[in-house]
Structure 1
Amino acid sequence: MLNFIGKGSAFNTELGNTSAFIKNDNSLLLIDCGGTVFNRLQELNILDGLESIYIVITHMHPDHIGSLGEVIFYSYYILKRKVNIIFPQKELMSNFLTIIGVKPEMYNINSFNILYIRDRKLGEFTIEFIPVSHSSTMPSYGFIMKINGKAFYYSGDANIISDKVIEKMKKGDIYRIYQDTCGLDYENNNHLSLKKLCDIISQEFRDNIYCMHLDKHISEQEIRDNGFNVVEIYK
């Protein structure tokens, strides 16, 4: 369902900043917008001819928001469209954009914890934000998105999967989990290690898990050998 522009952690630049999108005709839904994302959007011609752009932000670390300003500028000046930003903390986002020179008239912000959106090309979709454990210095969110009748969970950066999400997956209410997964395993890690993921998810449900935001201390084969999937980069 999701197409990934990148699947790397902040320091794993070879794989690009983790970001994903859904596109139908001239409407785009983008998840996170790290420093490498605008360049990749340009290389892949994903922005060409767009009339509607929605950008879901999970948190404000640079590898998730670093080129958001560029996308807003491009949309406003080249496409003549306002970007629709989806993030629960409106004031925090507005302050950040003001600091980097983005004017309020260039974008819209949707800041509810649960959103219902109807787009002409993407159809109807809902987003429910879920606070996650990641950074002590900023709010971080995962979310459940339902689109085209199917729901998935996207963790953003998180060192745990909530019981609520796991139970919904087991009941079939969520068909797929996209999870931040790393190789390093130590106390108070801001990301979820493969070891802990194995402890959380029993073998029978591992095919529902798609790992992303990979660091340099994990191999894709190791992830697959443990019964999980790895997201593929769109080309």
Structure 2
Amino acid sequence: MLNFIGKGSAFNTDLGNTSAFIKKDNSLLLIDCGGTVFHRLQQLDILSGLESLYIVITHTHPDHVGSLGEVIFYSYYILKRKVNIFFPKKELMKSFLTSIGVSSEMYNINSFDIVYVRDRQLGQFAIEFLPVSHVDTIPSYGFIMKLNGQSFYYSGDANVISNKVIEKMKNGEINRIYQDTCGLEYENNNHLSLTKLCDIVSPEFRNNIYCMHLDKHITEQEIKDNGFNVVEIKY
């Protein structure tokens, strides 16, 4: 469903900041926009000729919004288009963007918990934001997205998967779960360790889980040996 341009944690820069997209013709839906993302978008020539650009933000850590300003500037000055941002905390996002010199006429922001969009190329899609457990200093969200008759859950950075999401996966309402997964295991971890992921998801459902935001303390083979998938980076 998603094309990934990075799958690393903040310190695992070899894999790039975790970010994914869906593109059809001249419309692009981008998930998170960390410090390495604008450079990768340019390398892959993903931004050229866009008429509609939607960006879903899960939280405001630098590895998720570090190049958001650059993408907005590029869209506004080069593409002559406003970016459409989806993030539940409107004032927080506006304050952040103002602090890096992005003025309000350069973007639109939708802060509803449930968003419905009809795009000429992407079609109709819906996003339901769900608060997740990550850090105490800023709000963090995962979301369920429905597009073209299929649904997926994207965790953002989170140290647990809610029972609501697990049940929706088990009954077929969610086709895939994209989950923040790490190798480190310690008390009050801000990310979900592979050990805990194994405790949460029974073997028969693990093929529905795609691990992302990988740290340097885990290997893709470990993840696959436990029955899970790893997202692939688009080159």
Tell whether the structures are fold-level matches, with TM greater than 0.5. Answer: yes
- Partner residue, 2:118: 118
- Partner residue, 2:16: 16
Partners in 1 of 2:103 and 2:204 — Cα distance?
A: 49
Per the TM alignment, residue 106 of structure 1 is displaced from its structure 2 partner at its CA by 0.2
SS of match in other structure, 2:9 = coil
> In the alignment, does 2:91 pair up with 1:91?
yes
Partners in 2 of 1:70 and 1:234 — Cα distance?
A: 21
Q: Percent identity?
A: 82
Q: CA RMSD in A?
A: 0.2
Partners in 2 of 1:152 and 1:41 — Cα distance?
A: 23
- Partner residue, 1:76: 76
- Partner residue, 2:176: 176
Encode CA deviations 1:52-107: one digit per residue, 9 max, x unaligned. 00000000000000000000000000000000000000000000000000000000
Contiguous gaps of at least 5 residues in structure 2 = none
- Partner residue, 1:186: 186
- Partner residue, 1:53: 53
- Partner residue, 2:133: 133
Runs of 4+ in 1 over 6 A off after TM superposition: none
> In the alignment, does 2:106 pair up with 1:106?
yes
Per the TM alignment, residue 115 of structure 1 is displaced from its structure 2 partner at its CA by 0.5
- Partner residue, 1:43: 43
SS of match in other structure, 2:153 = strand
Encode CA deviations 1:96-153: one digit per residue, 9 max, x unaligned. 0000000000000000000100000000000000000001000000000000010000
Partners in 1 of 2:89 and 2:200 — Cα distance?
A: 29
- Partner residue, 1:160: 160
Partners in 2 of 1:48 and 1:102 — Cα distance?
A: 21
Partners in 1 of 2:75 and 2:187 — Cα distance?
A: 42
Per the TM alignment, residue 164 of structure 1 is displaced from its structure 2 partner at its CA by 0.1
Contiguous gaps of at least 5 residues in structure 1 = none
SS of match in other structure, 2:48 = coil
Partners in 1 of 2:173 and 2:76 — Cα distance?
A: 38
Partners in 2 of 1:115 and 1:80 — Cα distance?
A: 24
> Given the two structures, how large is their TM-score scaled by the length of structure 1?
1.00
Partners in 1 of 2:161 and 2:209 — Cα distance?
A: 11
Partners in 1 of 2:86 and 2:28 — Cα distance?
A: 13
Encode CA deviations 1:178-230: one digit per residue, 9 max, x unaligned. 00000000000000000000000000000000000000000000000000000
Per the TM alignment, residue 14 of structure 1 is displaced from its structure 2 partner at its CA by 0.1
- Partner residue, 2:149: 149
Partners in 2 of 1:131 and 1:205 — Cα distance?
A: 23
- Partner residue, 1:4: 4
SS of match in other structure, 1:77 = helix
> In the alignment, does 2:200 pair up with 1:207?
no
- Partner residue, 1:26: 26
- Partner residue, 1:64: 64
Q: Supply the AA of the counterpart residue of 1:134.
A: H
Equivalent pairs, count: 235
Per the TM alignment, residue 155 of structure 1 is displaced from its structure 2 partner at its CA by 0.1
SS of match in other structure, 1:42 = helix
- Partner residue, 1:228: 228
Partners in 1 of 2:150 and 2:223 — Cα distance?
A: 25
Partners in 1 of 2:149 and 2:124 — Cα distance?
A: 9
Per the TM alignment, residue 40 of structure 1 is displaced from its structure 2 partner at its CA by 0.1
